[in-house]
Chains A and B, each alone.
Chain A
Amino acid sequence: MSSVGVLLLKIVIALGWFLILALLLTWVERKQSAVMQDRIGANRAKIFGLRMFGLFQPFADAIKMMFKEDFVPAFGDKVLHTLAPFISFFFVAVTVAVIPFGPAVRIGGEDVALQVYDGSAGLLFLLAMLSLGVYGILLSGWSSRNRWGLIGGMRGAAQLISYEIALGLSLIGLIMIYPSLRLSEIVAAQGGLLFGFLPRWGIFLQPLGFLVFFVAAIAETKRVPFDLPEGESEIIGFCAEYGGLKWGLFMLTDFMEIIVVSAVATTLFFGGWQVPWLAADGLRWPWGGHWPMASWVVVLIQVAAFQVKVAFFCWLQILLRWTYPRIRYDQLMDLGWKLLIPLGLLNVLATGLIASL
């Protein structure tokens, strides 16, 4: 197989994984919130009498949205209004390219990385794409010619730019201790052991960095504790003038952002596809035992471990979304500028001090 064919295949698989997981998350969000609140949740969508716990709900939603009117408000900017959801969607969708799903595998005498694009500045690429997503929010608010939409878009721009700084600062400590910005090398660097038993994951090296990163990243997804751009109970926000599939694209983007945040948190702070004490030739216990395993079993376990970690973070984010009430706009700005950014700077300082000792 040519390398272009392999690349195309990897793109299709990664994007398919991304979109299917996002679709699934819309169901998970409904069911999880329902279970948390002692309810049952969406369970009526059925195909041929088969209910499957409402797993067909995303398809029912999609069909509903397809048959809605494709609406552009009068005096709105038709081009930008149509373009905005696609911009949002695109910049989130490309981020999956740099996520390493597993270690490189040998297929037919060729090393194939389970990663679409292993750029030398993968981390910067990721941050850049996540920041560019704000254009979709801003343009959608602007082009709607709706004051609530505009307020939502402006709030979104202010919030995302503020938290971008905290997000970047929280990762600087990580960049200082890892050898590279290449995500595959960052994951590989987390394979060793700390003090002989603790996996050398980012969370153990950078606990404060993780806290700042996670809060800032949740704010970047602009979901409920930080959903000021949308603010469905006060202003309807940037998607006020959207309906049908365009709105659905914004919604899907939200869920894809959850997955990206989970995948990035996993990759940077929780060892990516690394499993504690699992080396390429089997389990090596810290007390000296060794369970040998075939290499394909190890790869399978590691790919599964990545999925489990991503699933856990998706679960955690949905849990937080359905637990906390929205914070006020000035509180949001206070949290970002007065708490997270100083904490991020402190983290950089502490990392520098410890690393130079």
Chain B
Amino acid sequence: MKNAWTLLWALVKGAWITARHFFSNLWFHALRLIGIKKFRPGAVTIQYPEVKRVLPSRYRAAHRLMARPDGKPRCVACLLCATVCPSECIVVEAAEDPDPEVQKTAARFEIDLTRCCFCGFCVEACPEDAIRMDTGKIDLAARTRAQLTLTLAELLAGKRDGSI
């Protein structure tokens, strides 16, 4: 008998909690609707395509390549990133650089995002700080596989995410 009352009480308590959430959230939704926004919102939802979450400053998103002041890539084609990459998604082809201080540069630098696991080892390994993952680009869907392979030009065109 005592058990039954405990059970019934637990059921009432559970319904009370959800009902409380319902009414308080409805109240805050209504306040927002009529324009009083100083209270908390009625939901924790982030309405994704319109509103985007602020990424943490060290979030590892899609890659970009840094450029020298003259616009050429900082990369010296040492292949450390391609070596350390656990997914083997980085392809670098070296070429000679006319500048004797630089000597080597990347003629081809491709990152296959379909294979990338976004571990960030390439960024850590790079001695020239040539590759970074701070674009904040996380919506990486594409219609073809080819579109998901970032080429040298695309990587160089990448911009640092402004929100960081």
Chain A residues engaging chain B, CB cutoff 8 angstroms: 32, 34-40, 319-320, 322-324, 339
Contacts and interface: CB of A to CB of B under 8 A. Distances in A.
B43 A323 contact: no
Given A38-B43, A39-B45, A40-B45, A324 B21 contact: no
B34 interface: no
12 contacts: A35-B26, A35-B43, A36-B18, A36-B21, A36-B22, A36-B25, A37-B21, A38-B21, A319-B18, A319-B19, A323-B18, A324-B11
Contacts of A35: 21-22, 25-26, 29, 42-43
Contacts of B43: 34-35, 38-40
A61 B29 CA distance: 25
Contacts of A324: 11, 14-15
Interface of B: 4, 11, 14-15, 17-19, 21-22, 25-26, 29, 42-45, 47
A339 B7 CA distance: 13
A286 B35 CA distance: 42
A89 B26 CA distance: 33
A268 to B, nearest CB: 22
A338 B47 CA distance: 48
Contacts of A322: 18
B94 to A, nearest CB: 49
A38 B43 CA distance: 4
Contacts of A323: 14-15, 17-18
A38 B19 contact: no
Contact of A39 (B18, B26, B44): B44
A294 to B, nearest CB: 33
A4 B81 CA distance: 85
Contacts of A39: 43-45
A49 to B, nearest CB: 14
A10 B17 CA distance: 41
Nearest to A44: B47
A32 B45 contact: no
Contacts of B29: 35
A317 B152 CA distance: 59
Contacts of B26: 35
B11 to A, nearest CB: 7
For B4, B22, B26, the residue with the greatest tally of chain A CB atoms inside 10 Å of its CB is B22
B53 to A, nearest CB: 15
A319 B14 CA distance: 10
A228 to B, nearest CB: 18
A308 B18 CA distance: 21
For the complex of A and B, the 7 pairs showing the least CB-CB separation, nearest first, are A40-B45, A323-B18, A36-B22, A40-B43, A35-B25, A36-B18, A38-B44
Given A38-B43, A40-B43, A324-B11, 11 more contacts: A35-B26, A35-B29, A35-B42, A36-B19, A38-B45, A39-B44, A319-B18, A319-B19, A323-B14, A323-B15, A339-B4
B48 to A, nearest CB: 11
A323 B14 CA distance: 7
Contacts of A320: 15
B18 A38 contact: no
A40 B29 CA distance: 9
Contacts of B18: 36, 319, 322-323
Contacts of A339: 4
Contacts of B45: 38-40
B9 to A, nearest CB: 14
Contacts of B42: 35, 38, 40
B29 to A, nearest CB: 7
B22 A32 contact: yes
A34 B21 CA distance: 10
A35 B14 CA distance: 16
A185 B65 CA distance: 82
Contacts of B47: 40
Given A35-B42, A38-B43, A39-B45, A319 B15 contact: yes
Given A35-B42, A35-B43, A39-B44, A319 B22 contact: yes
A324 B17 CA distance: 11
Contacts of B22: 32, 35-36, 319
Contacts of B15: 319-320, 323-324
A304 B43 CA distance: 31
